[in-house]
A and B are shown apart, each in its own frame.
Chain A
């Protein structure tokens, strides 16, 4: 059974930093691209970032470029999202999601809440 477990969320002041982690199990982690998707309060889903299976290629939505860095450790079956210069508008539940057929997201974690507030 595929399991994705996020951690690392919390309350941080504007301009602060956080590192999110996603522990993966139940599949060959190194074979799949992974993404972070977020949902702000009262808003819809927003794709944030993606990393290809070997980690050589990464992609970001424009609003986080230069502030967020996605990475992975295939030896530990872990996905990360390093976030700096956080803004109030980054407040959201952050989900890690596994790439499925045609890059659908076939498995999701339970999410971790990031709150950016003074």
Chain B
């Protein structure tokens, strides 16, 4: 099973600040690292697919980078509506796995 470790687990962020969340896999991922946003009381929403590919309808301030075992989600600039939890997910190997999550709140 591929373990995904996210950091930070929690961050308080000021509006207009640049935020980066990292996701480190226990082994190299050849494909299939994705990012989701989960707002309180809502279902997850796909933000970035295949590490770097944008998703229709997602604001351009969300971007992804990385390869191998290390990946990053960047929000630039952070807006109040981006207060939520963020999860990375790998679909290269079964069982699929998620990172433990990163909670971002407004400072």
Contact = CB atoms under 8 A, between A and B. Distances in A.
B43 A110 contact: yes
A82 interface: no
Nearest to A63: B95
Interface in A10-62: 35, 37, 44-47, 50, 59-62
Given A108-B43, A111-B43, A101 B95 contact: no
A95 B46 CA distance: 14
Specify the main secondary structure of chain A where it touches its partner. Answer: strand
Interface residues of B, number: 24
B53 A108 contact: no
B31 to A, nearest CB: 6
B87 A105 contact: no
A102 B87 CA distance: 17
Interface in B43-60: 43-46, 49-50, 53, 55
Contacts of B36: 45, 105
Contacts of B95: 47, 59-62
A108 B45 contact: yes
Contacts of A109: 43
Contact of A105 (B31, B34, B50, B94): B34
A20 B8 CA distance: 34
24 contacts: A35-B96, A44-B98, A44-B100, A45-B89, A45-B98, A45-B101, A46-B98, A47-B96, A60-B95, A95-B43, A95-B44, A97-B44, A100-B49, A101-B50, A102-B31, A102-B32, A102-B50, A104-B50, A104-B89, A105-B34, A106-B55, A107-B46, A108-B45, A109-B43
